[in-house]
Amino acid sequence: MLGKARRSFAVSIGIMLVGFMAIGVAIVYRVMRDAPPPTIAAEVSVPAGAEVISALTVNGTVQVTYRAGGAVMLSVFDSKTGALSQSLQIKAE
């Protein structure tokens, strides 16, 4: 009789713990889903007449590869402000 009561208690506690875990997962999901998207600069500036080859966002930066005057350049901009942080020329060897 006592063993049957213990098993029943263990099953009910197990079901209750699974329910608490489900509630925790639902709360974390809602918080992450409703988080605002990160801010990204509306525009960045490249030299006039430049041909943009690619642009992508990586780790809080906007990286733009473009061709200007026969040279291929890579410019890295801050994704929040759009300010140029560094620029380098890509040369083929």
> Two tokens at 37?
């998207």
| pLDDT score recorded for residue 67 | 92
* Domain parsing of the chain, residue ranges: 1-35, 51-90
Instruction: Retrieve residue 88's tokens.
Output: 């380098």
Pairwise CA distance, residues 51 & 79, whole Å:
21
Contacts of 76 by beta carbon, 8 Å cutoff, 6+ apart: 61, 62, 63, 84, 85, 86, 87
Q: Name the 3-class secondary structure at 21.
A: helix
What pLDDT does 86 receive?
A: 92
**Listed residue (65, 60, 58, 59) closest to 87, CA to CA:** 65
What's the confidence (pLDDT) of residue 54?
A: 92
pLDDT of residue 77: 93
Q: How far is CA 3 from the centre of its chain?
A: 52
pLDDT tens per residue, the chain (93 residues)? 888 889 999 999 999 999 999 999 999 998 888 777 777 888 888 888 899 999 998 888 999 999 988 889 999 999 888 889 999 998 877
